Structure 1
Amino acid sequence: MAEKGGLGTGMNMTEEEKYYWEAFNLFDKDGSGSICKDEFGKATRALGFNPTDQQIADLLKQYDTNNTDRLEFVEFKTLIKELYKKNPNDKNAIRNAFKVLDRDQSGYIEAKELKEVLQKCGQSLSDDEISEMIAVADSNKDGKINYNEFTEYMCRPIK
């Protein structure tokens, strides 16, 4: 049985692919294995980019290889890789992504905020799963992510 978005069952993903897969799944609200134009716009903005509606439409048209007006995971991954190549370590994109997650503008991303953002995106994760996500970037182990930790995590080389 194939998984949604064109990934085969048991396929080993790189860290980079896992990152894109998580972003993709956050916005594939109906579980169809593809995301529509609106979902794609939200996904790119959550990843720190700030495209206009016209740019979203143009990108969708360019990368939708099977002409469904939707992006499957493989198409999404290819497109996001290209965006990152064109804008490596874009500080504005990273700052915008941080602001989306730092809902109370405290300068930190806490578990509660991350959980709220993910729930608004249609993802219900357990407290343990949220804690694991925070722990990945929380280099000083204070239970929350500050802007420097977030930037360091987002700009790390992906293998």
Structure 2
Amino acid sequence: MKTQNNFAHFSRGGKLSNPYLKFTKVDAETAKKAFTPQELKQIMDMFVYFDKSGNSTIKRDDLGFALRAIGYLVTTIEIRELGIYLDPKKTQILNFEQFITACYNVRNRKPNKQEIINALKIFEKNKSGYIDVKEIKSIITKIGDVLNLTEFDIVISEITQAQNGFIKTEDLVNLLIMQ
């Protein structure tokens, strides 16, 4: 396995722009060994789901959706950089070997419930276990990998809100890590 570090690369010409991201090039057989049979089935099922053409390929633009649907926490920037790494010729399609390489490189990025709860505690009032919906909406729709207002409303509608406009922190976390 070869780890590629890209300190000299720029975002132009299909080269990586983030010097801190490292990806490991592995063949499909080696990558498969890193997953349990259940994880491997989930990866294969997701690949088949996104293979709309039936050519055993997926669109590079669907990489993020597929990885997130499996349950990996990846940012938009990581997805873009991974796409550039996997598809240096800019074909805009990925085969299964490239897809499982992507999964291999992000396999340790599944959410840890307690870490997410701890991160959200700063938004709780008086350590009550509840978060103000307006405050979390402002953050989620403006910072990081943002949701638009409609997406936020759809997500938040899954959570029972207290009458005072607050939601339980744990309910939000459970929704975020739901698989």
Instruction: Please confirm whether the aligned pair reaches a TM-score higher than 0.5, indicating the same fold.
Output: no
TM-score range, shorter chain: 0.3 to 0.5
Greater percentage in strand: 2
**Greater length-normalized contact order (CA 8 Å, ≥ 6 residues apart):** 1
TM-score, length-normalised on structure 2?
Answer: 0.39
Greater percentage in helix: 1
TM-score, length-normalised on structure 1?
Answer: 0.43
